[in-house]
Amino acid sequence: MLIPIVILFVAISGTLIVIGVFKMSRKILSALSIILWLCSLVSAFFVGWAWLERSYSENWAMYGFFFISLPIIITAGVLAVSTILAAKVRKIDNMKEVCLRLYLLLIFLAAQVVVGYFAA
């Protein structure tokens, strides 16, 4: 069930990256960063749940981390890095704040991975 959702998410995000980079539109890339932030907040829910349930012997919340959060973290991270690289290669003006949001997103995703690792 999660695989079609991830494929749709990657297709929509990839389309936004291509359109935003080739049209050099900051608005489209800002919309993409907002979508990536919303998805990372969804994964943060499952990471927080795994952290709260870490003391139980049967840690069922880790399934949410491994099967929902980790694919979202990896996908959002790859999309954020590809957006930053595409914006740098095309040398789009006024992209500092969008790139800053994406850098902060990468830090947030890395923090989720660390918390999820220590919850295991």
Residues in the chain, how many? 120
CA–CA separation, 58 and 69 (whole Å) = 19
CA 2 to chain centre: 15
DSSP state of 120: -
What global pTM score does this model have? 0.89
Q: How confident is the model at residue 54 (pLDDT cuts 50, 70, 90)?
A: confident
Name the more confident of 105 and 88: 105
Position 53 scores a pLDDT of: 85
What tokens were used for 50? 């795994």
Residue 52: is its pLDDT beyond 80?
Answer: yes
CA angle 39, 114, 35 (to 5 degrees): 10
Q: How many domains does the chain have?
A: 1
The parent domain of residue 45 ranges over 2-119
Mean pLDDT of 55-69: 83
Residue 57: is its pLDDT beyond 80?
Answer: no
